[in-house]
Structure 1
């Protein structure tokens, strides 16, 4: 897919060197209060490795998200089929370090994912999931064209879907 970037973000497949910086937030109970928490560096490394195997198979998986400004790692996310909770189709997901919350990075990444899914990957739809009390993530999904389908008891989350535009 070549170099992937947005106005303020650089996106690339994660490497093992990224794991300590990613674990700063993927292993932070506050940052991950609405989704899966990695409880050790080993678990974080495994999650990333499993997603990278899916990238080789599917052609897409979450990226390490860096700022263009200083190239610091601030997030992890993208388009993927969740290997840990399969059967929900292609999803958009993201997690960001709390130090950058409220700056619009999640919306910028989600919009990039929508555009990529529509124009390059030609995916018929994208799914996303958010806990009902995660108002920030729900707002991101609504701003990027996702429609709420309802509560999924199996996941304990609201299910969102966006058809190709």
Structure 2
């Protein structure tokens, strides 16, 4: 386990997460504001395997973890903690569509902030496509401050970069 909240458990990905990972990564709605498009089953299998192998790489700066519903023990999404191009710790998360609207993203964000503080991180970054108002509201609720507006190179949409000093 990496950390937990009242309803969620964040842990390393496992090969047994493949069905849920595929449901997440094959959905165009989930990925509409993310780099890359929906993936087929085989692509998800390869991606999942690569993400799992990264856990053993001492130079890894791209951590993707599973988010599990503690009540059902089901995989419901992923959370990312990666170094951005400036060496900052950037957070991100996505949930399987059928789990949207349950407050999981807010709960996860709060838990992630607490986890990052406990690891001695000094600052977190979050980038949100401007039309993704729900995600922006979550960051703002946790006192992230907008520091930059830009057009993303990867998806070509206006984005806002948020920062939280821990």
Q: TM-score, normalised by structure 2?
A: 0.83
Contact 1:79 1:113 in 2 (8 A): no
Unaligned runs of 5+ in 2: none
Superposed counterparts of 1:66-105, under 5 Å: 66-81=68-83, 86-88=84-86, 89-105=88-104
Superposed counterparts of 1:6-155, under 5 Å: 6-36=5-35, 37-56=37-56, 57=58, 58=60, 61-81=63-83, 86-88=84-86, 89-119=88-118, 121-155=119-153
> Comparing both structures, which one devotes a greater share of its residues to strand?
2
Q: Distance in 2 between matches of 1:160 and 1:50?
A: 28
Contact 1:78 1:109 in 2 (8 A): no
Regions of 4+ moved over 4 Å: none
Give 1:163's aligned residue. 165
Contact 2:3 2:115 in 1 (8 A): no
